[in-house]
Amino acid sequence: MIQEEIYCRGCRRMVVALVADGTSLTCPFCGVGLNRDRSYDVFISYARPDEKTALRLAALLDGAGVRYWLDVKDLGLDSSFIGEIAKVLSNSKVLLLLVSPRMVDRQWVEAEVSFAMRTKCLILPLMLEEFDLPINLQLALGTKIIRKFYQPSSESQDRELVRFVYEELQKYTVPLTPPPSCQSITAAPLVPKPLKGVVEGESPFMGPRPFEGGMSHLFFGRDSEVLELLGLMRKSRVLLLYAPSGAGKSSLLNTRFQEVLQGQGVQVLNGIRVGTPLPENVDRFKVKNIYAFSVISQLDKRDVDHSTRRLRDCLQAMRQEGRPRIILFDQFEEIFTQHADRFDERVPFIQDLIGALTDDPLLTVLFAIRQEYLAYMFEFRKLFPAELPMLDYALRRMGVNEAKEAILGPASTYAIFDSDVVDEIIKQLNIMRVIGPHGELVEKPGPNIELVHLQIVCEQLWASLESGIKRITKTELARAAGNGKRFEDFVQNALNVFFEKVLDEVSRHNETEKKMIQFGLMSFITASSTRTMVQRGKYKTGRLPNRIVEKLEGRHLIRREERGGQQWFELSHDSLADPVSKQRAQDPELNKLLFAADLLDKVLDKAKVDSSDTLKNYFGEHREILAECKRFQSQAQSLLEEEELEFLFRASLRSGIEQLEWSEQLWKHYPESHVRVLKNALSYYSPSVSEVARTVRKHAMELLGKIGERADKDLLSMLVEVALKDEDANVRQAATLSLVRLDQQELYLKAISALSQLETQAVAMEALARIRITIDGQTERTRFDEVFAGIPSMFKGKIRARARWIRLKERWPAIPITFFTVATFAAIAAAPFKVIPGGFGWSVTQYLKVAPMDTFNMPNAFMGFLQGTIAAVIWAGGIAIALMIYHEVFQSEQTKKSILSPIGTIVAGATGGLCASLVVVLGVLFWFNPMGIVGMGWRIPIEGSEVLPPNGGAVKALEDAFVNTRYGWVHLFSGTGLGIGMGMMLNAIRSSSAWNEFFDRQHVINSFTEARQFAWVIMKIALKKVWIMLVVLGAAASVAALVPNTELSELPKYKAMVNANLVNLIKGLIGDCSTQAFGAYFGIVGMLLATVALRYGINIEPRKNRI
């Protein structure tokens, strides 16, 4: 084993290594493989006409002990020219380039320079004479030292030249004491500079961040590409750089390429994008060319209107005479992916740019796009004239050697990697998985390595290293992977780990907030999973709150740009679009939310187009969108943008669906928009869609009463105005209902104040009457009762009267519905029941079979059924009408409920019973057979006649019934008692907890089965209170039994009045009152069932035909 001095490409210096035969060498400092082939200090590159100068320089270097290579002296006859030059350049420290007019356009000189840059060989240009250096050489050699005007005949310049070469070589070697004479400058072995070691919190790797200007010292592996690009610039002023995602095209342009150009005085307009969204304060319809506007806004930061400016004019105005400049269009694929609705402006934009190139011969443009969009550039390529051909340059992802440089280079001042460590990292970064011949998953080396993936892996690896480490071995790889895990998994999952780590840190492991961030990041990628820019809003950026955006930016998941005075954000790199888009597949709920949001955005865009790009006065129904987006309401954080929430709120105001829920969502996140939409809805009048406008105003009125404290003073003032003045009665009614719900004294007083003005007195009376109606329907007392007490009496009476008239006018349909239900239930129950007493003649309106009147009106079951039906309809139906009129027109729910309260129910029942009894009595007197009436004892027969009553018409009949026989009072007493009993029974039922619990939990009646079930429950509730009616009715019947004159039938002249005795009267009362009670019980059941149906509705579908 011997000690040998060998040049290291990684360290860029000579190192001393122990060499044993048959072993491969690696640098002990950086881990790069060492080549023991003969190395040279200087490779002399020249044009053939300058051969004499090259030979003289070779002699000078040789005399100084500098190892050089010159083709005419060292290239063997049997050597492969290309192979030998490549081998020598690979083992040379310096390329000494003789620059003269004669080397311009020399292909081999250009090739040698290009290869030297690719292999990291130091280039020392030496100008032999003064001339205008071509632009491609200026760009390629911009950062190199130009040694000018070497004259071979001058000894002083000879010595200066040797010193110059020596000093440049010394930068890559240990400082040496210059030899007194021309001894080899590499005679002593090189000792590496001391390493800093790993420093906690300080990383030489960029992770997901793109390389930016000033970071060339960290950017390795792309020098040859820079040179090749610069070479293309000499051939054309229109370049197209295309690369796959993650190849590092932006980083290349931001660092080495830009640095070289700026070193030569070129003005670099870097990072220009054509697809930035428009600022919120710009009217998109006034922008002449949206792509030119985007570019001009980035070039010209002044606060002026760029809507109609041409890019050609803007560049001409910015032109600096004699100074070359270049525009670097980054992510130029945005011209195809952004502003798709303005596709017809793409070609005019390119033509505008061509005009700028024509005006300025020192202007160059470079388009950087992702390679999958290369074919789309064809339509633009053919627009450029022949003198401005578009030249393509394909930037590939890094190969293995370039990747090694990208790993070793940035870390070289901190620590060195063992060669097997670098090989392992490269191996895992370069693995691709493919399907084998038998369907199995096979791993094989890939064609290249993605720069961002490499940077993230290295950054995570570096973060896992212990502070102070100067040598990185496989032990550190194992530690980075974690216990029981493979390093290959660490590499393969690096992007996802980084993504998840940032999300966890920002959300602080809150799953709800994490989902919100995941969903919000969707707005940073397009439908084709490419990244896009999002403008920062007042509260949110895209779908993300600004506080989250700032945290994501601080962790380099997204980055910020200032454009046109606005802040824009995008993912830090194209590669991060993949983990964002993967969320769709991994989280089904997130995918549903995204589907709903995408659908919402499409409908929203169409709505904006239909309404001139504004949502003002737009109230589309969109029930299907509201249904799809309902799942957003369950999210603790808003996942929707302001305009989306506004759209949904407007749709809910039109449809009436979940308007309170969408109101809460918009108010919680965007209170100003919430107020704006409600004001728009309250003032929405449109003759063309008047019905829609009324519906929107009505729903907005209803909502105001529910949102309470969220309604500001302006909205509340509008509420009172609408309640007083709106043209639609339904809207006014909704407004008054909201006034009651809000129950604010100042609002009531504002409405009452309108009574003092003649022009508003009528509408104020109407509004206050409706408020009175609403208050009467509530159980709790309100502030309105206090305010109402202070209204002048003349207005107070009119308001009450108006309220009762409105209640009757609007609720009268409930009366016939209730009458029909009650009469049906009562008749169905009473008619069969009356068959039994009717068959035995136990009725006040029937008489026993006694000669000689056996052919008239004799007792029978049919008469009992008929009388039971008629009596049920008249008594139960009549009393029900009276009770319903009181309930719908007069009753206040604030009245305390008990058997005796409200007293109005009892009065109404008594009134209804009395009126129904009068109908029955008059029917008996004027419809029944006269002979039967005499037999029942209701009328006195003609004196001397056994059958016929006297003539005298109606007056005489009434006199007989109410004065002479007094049988007419029987039904008046019993009927009135029945009404009082039904009223008291109804009070008792409505005040019971059993009824209130049953009533509150009911719903729409959907079938006859449900109606039957409801009726059965009501029957059981009513059965517990039926005793009240029986007691009252029994008392009324007892009084009724004492009123008739039952002694007339004992007189011989009145023997035709066969039933007119006390026994038959009692039998008749028992039969009639029991029938009344039975029918009344079922009538109350029908009334209560009708109340449920009127409150909750009926929705019974017709029976379907069956085959």
Residue 184 lies in a domain: no
**pLDDT score, position 851:** 39
Dist. CA 194–CA 112, nearest whole Å: 33
Using 50, 70 and 90 to split pLDDT, how confident is the model at 325? very high
- CATH value at residue 513: 1.10.10.10
Residue 806 lies in a domain: no
Q: Are residues 943 and 882 in the same domain?
A: yes
Among residues 525, 549, 584, the one where a domain terminates is 584
Give the C-alpha distances (Å, rounded to integers) separating 126 from 85, 95, 159, 1009: 20, 10, 14, 105
Using 50, 70 and 90 to split pLDDT, how confident is the model at 542? confident
Check whether 564 has a pLDDT greater than 60. no
Using 50, 70 and 90 to split pLDDT, how confident is the model at 77? very low
Q: Which residues contact 1083 (CB under 8 A, 6 or more apart)?
A: 822, 823, 825, 826, 872, 876, 877, 879, 880, 982
1075 touches 985 (CB < 8 A): no
Dist. CA 1027–CA 1069, nearest whole Å: 18
**pLDDT score, position 188:** 35
Q: Which of 693-702, 816-825, 944-953 has the lowest mean pLDDT?
A: 944-953
pLDDT more than 70, % of the chain: 82
Using 50, 70 and 90 to split pLDDT, how confident is the model at 183? very low
The tens digit of pLDDT for each residue in 737-777 reads: 888 888 888 888 888 888 888 878 888 888 888 888 888 87
Q: Are residues 373 and 264 in the same domain?
A: yes
Closest among 624, 615, 695, 693 to 647, alpha carbons compared:
615
**pLDDT score, position 918:** 92
pLDDT more than 90, % of the chain: 16
The tens digit of pLDDT for each residue in 389-434 reads: 999 999 888 888 788 888 888 888 888 888 888 888 888 877 766 6
Q: Which residue has the higher pLDDT, 387 or 195?
A: 387
**pLDDT score, position 193:** 57
Q: Are residues 639 and 556 in the same domain?
A: no
635 touches 545 (CB < 8 A): no
Helix (H, G, I), strand (E, B) or coil at 179: coil
Q: Percent helix, strand and coil across the chain, each rounded to 5?
A: 60, 10, 30
Q: Which residue has the higher pLDDT, 872 or 193?
A: 872
Q: Are residues 487 and 626 in the same domain?
A: no
Which region holds residue 559: left if phi is over 0, alpha if psi is between -120 and 50, else beta?
beta
789 touches 805 (CB < 8 A): no
The tens digit of pLDDT for each residue in 236-264 reads: 999 999 988 767 888 888 888 888 888 77
Residue 253 lies in a domain: yes
Q: Which residue has the higher pLDDT, 168 or 821?
A: 821
Residue 216 lies in a domain: no
Q: Which single residue is written with the structure tokens 């409200």?
A: 902
Using 50, 70 and 90 to split pLDDT, how confident is the model at 1022? very high
The Cβ of residue 391 has, within 10 Å, a number of other Cβ atoms equal to 17
Q: Are residues 886 and 945 in the same domain?
A: yes
Q: Which residues contact 926 (CB under 8 A, 6 or more apart)?
A: 954, 957
Dist. CA 574–CA 507, nearest whole Å: 23
Q: Are residues 701 and 602 in the same domain?
A: yes
Residue 593 lies in a domain: yes
The tens digit of pLDDT for each residue in 107-127 reads: 677 778 877 777 777 788 888
247 touches 369 (CB < 8 A): no
User: Average pLDDT, stretch 714-720?
Assistant: 85
Tell me the two tokens of residue 94. 């310096």
Closest among 660, 667, 653, 681 to 712, alpha carbons compared:
667
Using 50, 70 and 90 to split pLDDT, how confident is the model at 81? low
Q: Which of 207-216, 426-435, 835-844, 978-987 has the lowest mean pLDDT?
A: 426-435
What φ, ψ does residue 885 adopt, rounded to 5°? -60, -45
Dist. CA 850–CA 854, nearest whole Å: 6
If you ran DSSP here, which 8-state letter would residue 410 be given?
A: H
Domains held by the chain: number: 6
Torsion of CA 80, 82, 85, 86, to 10 degrees: -120
Dist. CA 599–CA 591, nearest whole Å: 12
Amino acid at 916: A
Tell me the two tokens of residue 660. 């309170």
Q: Are residues 550 and 691 in the same domain?
A: no
User: Average pLDDT, stretch 361-374?
Assistant: 91
**pLDDT score, position 351:** 93
Q: Are residues 833 and 933 in the same domain?
A: yes
The tens digit of pLDDT for each residue in 889-931 reads: 888 877 888 899 999 999 999 999 999 999 998 888 887 777 6
**pLDDT score, position 859:** 65
Check whether 22 has a pLDDT greater than 70. no
**pLDDT score, position 37:** 53
**pLDDT score, position 1062:** 77
Using 50, 70 and 90 to split pLDDT, how confident is the model at 454? confident
Residue 794 lies in a domain: no
Q: Are residues 567 and 604 in the same domain?
A: no
Q: Are residues 124 and 141 in the same domain?
A: yes
Closest among 1092, 614, 1076 to 868, alpha carbons compared:
1076
Among residues 373, 394, 415, the one where a domain terminates is 394
Mean of per-residue pLDDT scores for the chain: 80
Q: Are residues 907 and 994 in the same domain?
A: yes
Give the C-alpha distances (Å, rounded to integers) separating 1000 from 209, 773, 995, 1007, 1096: 62, 21, 9, 19, 10
Using 50, 70 and 90 to split pLDDT, how confident is the model at 820? very high
The Cβ of residue 1078 has, within 10 Å, a number of other Cβ atoms equal to 20
Q: Which single residue is written with the structure tokens 């995008």?
A: 570
**pLDDT score, position 778:** 77
The tens digit of pLDDT for each residue in 983-1003 reads: 999 999 999 999 988 888 877
Give the C-alpha distances (Å, rounded to integers) separating 574 from 64, 171, 316, 337: 53, 38, 33, 14
**pLDDT score, position 347:** 93
Residue 570 lies in a domain: yes
Amino acid at 169: L
Give the C-alpha distances (Å, rounded to integers) separating 1065 from 557, 659, 1043: 99, 65, 11
The Cβ of residue 1098 has, within 10 Å, a number of other Cβ atoms equal to 14
- CATH value at residue 253: 3.40.50.300
Tell me the two tokens of residue 826. 């009562």
Closest among 379, 396, 331, 369 to 240, alpha carbons compared:
369
Among residues 557, 584, 611, the one where a domain terminates is 584
The tens digit of pLDDT for each residue in 795-807 reads: 888 888 888 888 8
Residue 225 CB-density burial (10 A; 0-12 exposed, 13-18 middle, 19+ buried): buried
Question: 394 has which bridge partners?
Answer: 242
Q: Are residues 940 and 1059 in the same domain?
A: yes
Dist. CA 74–CA 56, nearest whole Å: 15
Domain with 133, as residue range(s), is: 37-170
Check whether 298 has a pLDDT greater than 90. no
User: Average pLDDT, stretch 1056-1063?
Assistant: 68
User: Average pLDDT, stretch 691-703?
Assistant: 90
Residue 43 lies in a domain: yes
